Amino acid sequence: MINHKKCGWAGSISEFCNTETTVIVDSCIKFYTLHYNETAEQIKSQIYAWQDSFSYLKGCLANYPYPDDLIIFEYILPRSGLSRPDVIIIQKRDSGRIDLKVIEFKSHPNLQENEKWQLRVYLQKLSYYHSFTHDYVSNIEGILISTHPSWDDSYYVDNEHDLTIVGRYRLLEILKETVSCPNPLSSTVKLNKSSSKELLLQFLDSQYIPSPAIVHSARILFHNRDIPRISTVESSNFYNVLEQVESIIEKAQNDRTHHLVLVHGEPGSGKTFLGLKIAHKDYSQHINPGQAVFLSGNRPLVDVLANLTNDTFVQHLYKFKNEYKPLSNNATQTPYENIFIFDEAQRAWDENKVNHTFNNVSMSEPDIILDIASRVTQQWSVTVALIGQGQEIKGGEEAGLELWANAVRQVSINKQIGYYVHGSPTDLIHFQSNMPANVYLDNSDHLFLNSALRNHDAHQYHKFINSFLEGEFAQAAQYFSLIKDKYLFRWTDSIKAAKSTLTGYASNIKTEDGRFQYGALYSTTSTKPKHFKVFTKTNFYKVPDYVIYHNYRELRGLNSRENNLEAEDFMRWQQHEERYSNCLVYAATEYECQGLELDMALVEWGDDLIYQNNNWQHKPNTYKERDKDAQNPKQLIKNTYRVLLTRGRDATIVFIDDQLLQQLFIRCGVPKLASN
């Protein structure tokens, strides 16, 4: 057996059977408390589950014919956010062949859909993103076992999820069988005869590395699907900025140097799209090859994008940080990428916020990212910081570019490496104080996305919204006069009129791709919307509701191919798929729509931001005000409405039942929506 930071216990089958159960449980407790910061008292139910499953497995495996096979408990999958299968059995054969059995235990009789999806996700992560598995493993099989007595002799194959589901008395039978599920991406390189310890270490030390096939697939999907849909990108300086960033990446590759690129942009100017273009480009043909990854702390954005391609180039920032964060047991590991695109960089967490999430990590997010970038194996890196305006909607996100300046200062001093910082003169102001001699500033006017792509017919629209939210109503009126004939913006006190306008407008608009998407939005700090349902917390392993809200048409197309249903059948199905945005049944929050877009947005203005005594007043005791990391709760709520009011590409309708707010819009020249 070996002790390893990535699992609760690991060893051979014979070692497992001959080790006291209490010893194995104690090892798992130490592992769990290390990673989850919970005491043994807090995880009593988990301890009981370990005791039961270990005792059962010892009885089951006593007659297992291959005692030198290996067993691993609670293995943390790379970049998974601490997701871990209950048991992995590594079956090694004289031929050099390696098979895996991935086992999940459940104690109840009624197995749920999400429990099957959970195991299916584990299998996909191991098959597609685990370096050892896609290099050496011939076959992988998922086994879901219910220890409830009613399942004792049960055994059936779930073809929908590619799993085998068994009861207690049938597990040994399955383990003895030849696996029937080939690993689709395995190169099946045979391992030399390795000791059990060497083989375990090879598996446990494996990195997150997508297989070449999954990388190729992700690039094809990105270039052939609408993610995101930007139809007038040529009308801006988008490609000038893209070319500038790509030239900096090429310089980093040629010179093997480290760079921070600050790309600033107005709301809707295409920052996310720029990041995705950079992430999906192939950098492998250079003499110093590299890979890129788009990192975002906005889970809905990542889920929506990853659902349409896969999560090879688009990943959750939290999972990435957790895998490679400094001051941890994994600090010696390095990601395989060299190019890191940090979405909404002005919202990066400060040190306090990070420390509340990861105990004993006294660093900001920029500190963590640049520390990771300094450890890349090719000795060159480019961190692209995508910077928006007024998008900070959580506590701990309010420090802005000063965090990045401090991170550059610290990494250049502590790691003794030179850093090149590229940005507009306005952004580089933050980097001019107390910088060491090995930090080089590069002023560039080609790193500012200066026209709004989302509102492609109204480049002044975001200025109107900013002025309105800052209480500068005379200025807002001037901006509105410039856009009133180019962008549909109306207020209404009739939800019926708003819905009728959206559906009627959509029926008369024909877009190039045949898509016209609209939907309702609301602020999480307000009372729940009066006229729409809201999404509840979605099971982690299933497709979240907000993904269907944004991507339903794409999902429908996939489902139609899988199920061979006619388009007319799916049109009827769409009428009953309430989660899709166009149905106007559910409303999405600022978190569920940030970074994404609709053609037309219906914003229900809530009770969390009102105008009284010539000033904006925010609702007291909201969760944003209770957030100990929040410095200015009212500004966060104003930023929430800045996000909501800039989601619509072609139109925004605001539903308001507050008469003072209605008068403010009238004062700015905004017409009331005509009733149909």
Q: Token pair for residue 101?
A: 């059995």
Closest alpha carbon to 216 in 309, 325, 295, 301: 309
Q: What average pLDDT is seen over the chain? A: 81
**Is there a common fold for 214-449 and 456-668?**
yes
Q: What is the pLDDT of residue 7?
A: 92
Contact 234, 240 (CB under 8 A): no
pLDDT, average across residues 95-114: 84
Confidence band of 499 (pLDDT split at 50, 70, 90): very high
- Pick the range with the lowest mean pLDDT from 367-381, 429-443, 478-492, 616-630: 616-630
Q: What is the pLDDT of residue 103?
A: 94
pLDDT, average across residues 48-59: 91
Q: What is the pLDDT of residue 644?
A: 92
- Pick the range with the lowest mean pLDDT from 91-100, 107-116, 243-252, 507-516: 507-516
Q: What is the pLDDT of residue 538?
A: 58
pLDDT of residue 576 exceeding 70:
no
Q: Which helix (H) or strand (E) holds 639?
A: helix 633-644
Q: What is the pLDDT of residue 629?
A: 58
Neighbours of 620 (CB within 10 A): 8
Q: Token pair for residue 523?
A: 């602020």
Q: How does pLDDT run across 64-75, given as a tens digit for each residue?
A: 999 999 999 999
* 403 Ramachandran zone, left/alpha/beta (phi>0; psi -120 to 50): alpha
Kind of pairing between the strands at 98-106 and 87-92: antiparallel
pLDDT of residue 197 exceeding 90:
no
Q: What is the pLDDT of residue 230?
A: 42
pLDDT, average across residues 215-231: 62
Closest alpha carbon to 315 in 79, 76, 597: 79
Give Dmax over CA atoms of the chain in angstroms.
83
Q: What is the pLDDT of residue 523?
A: 92
Q: What is the pLDDT of residue 185?
A: 47
Q: Distance between CA atoms of 532 and 588, rounded to whole angstroms?
A: 9
pLDDT higher at 99 or 289? 99
Q: What is the pLDDT of residue 527?
A: 84
Burial of 614 (0-12, 13-18, 19+ CB in 10 A): exposed
Q: Distance between CA atoms of 14 and 408, rounded to whole angstroms?
A: 51
pLDDT of residue 190 exceeding 80:
no
pLDDT of residue 392 exceeding 50:
no
Q: How does pLDDT run across 339-361, given as a tens digit for each residue?
A: 999 988 888 888 777 776 666 67
pLDDT of residue 481 exceeding 50:
yes
Q: Which residues contact 68 (CB under 8 A, 6 or more apart)?
A: 12, 13, 14, 92, 196
> What topology does CATH give the domain 456-668?
Rossmann fold (3.40.50)
pLDDT, average across residues 67-91: 91
The amino acid at 356: H
Q: What is the pLDDT of residue 562?
A: 36
Q: Which residues contact 247 (CB under 8 A, 6 or more apart)?
A: none
Q: What is the pLDDT of residue 566?
A: 43
Confidence band of 193 (pLDDT split at 50, 70, 90): low
* Secondary structure E strands in 268-410: 292-296, 314-316, 339-342, 381-387
Q: What is the pLDDT of residue 32?
A: 87
Q: What is the pLDDT of residue 226?
A: 56
The string of DSSP codes covering 582-605 is GG-SEEE-HHHHTT--EEEEEEE-
Query: How many helices (H) does the chain have, and how many strands (E)?
Result: 25, 23
According to DSSP, residue 97 is labeled: -
Strand order from edge to edge, sheet including 488-492: 488-492, 648-655, 598-604, 518-522, 586-588, 533-534
Q: How does pLDDT run across 421-457, given as a tens digit for each residue?
A: 999 888 899 898 889 999 999 998 889 887 655 555 5
Q: Distance between CA atoms of 60 and 62, rounded to whole angstroms?
A: 6
Q: Distance between CA atoms of 93 and 350, rounded to whole angstroms?
A: 50
Percent share of the chain, pLDDT over 70: 79
Neighbours of 626 (CB within 10 A): 10
Q: What is the pLDDT of residue 173?
A: 86
Confidence band of 8 (pLDDT split at 50, 70, 90): very high
pLDDT higher at 340 or 335? 340
pLDDT of residue 512 exceeding 70:
no
Q: How does pLDDT run across 289-313, given as a tens digit for each residue?
A: 788 999 988 777 777 777 666 678 8
Contact 143, 101 (CB under 8 A): yes
Confidence band of 544 (pLDDT split at 50, 70, 90): low
Domain boundaries, the chain: 7-205, 214-449, 456-668
Neighbours of 363 (CB within 10 A): 22
Q: Which residues contact 531 (CB under 8 A, 6 or more apart)?
A: 495, 520, 604, 655
pLDDT of residue 318 exceeding 60:
yes
Confidence band of 194 (pLDDT split at 50, 70, 90): low
Q: What is the pLDDT of residue 22?
A: 94
Letter string b/e over residues 316-341, b meaning 16 or more CB atoms within 10 A of that residue's CB: bbbbbbbbbbbebebeeebbebbbbb
Q: Token pair for residue 78?
A: 């790379």
pLDDT higher at 236 or 632? 632
pTM for the model: 0.75
pLDDT of residue 184 exceeding 70:
no
| Matching residue, tokens 């029937």 | 180
Judged by DSSP in three states, 560 sits in helix
Closest alpha carbon to 494 in 657, 631, 647: 657
| Matching residue, tokens 């990435």 | 320
pLDDT of residue 530 exceeding 50:
yes
Q: Which CATH architecture has domain 214-449?
A: 3-Layer(aba) Sandwich (3.40)
Q: What is the pLDDT of residue 321?
A: 83
Confidence band of 660 (pLDDT split at 50, 70, 90): very high
- Pick the range with the lowest mean pLDDT from 53-62, 188-197, 292-301, 429-438: 188-197
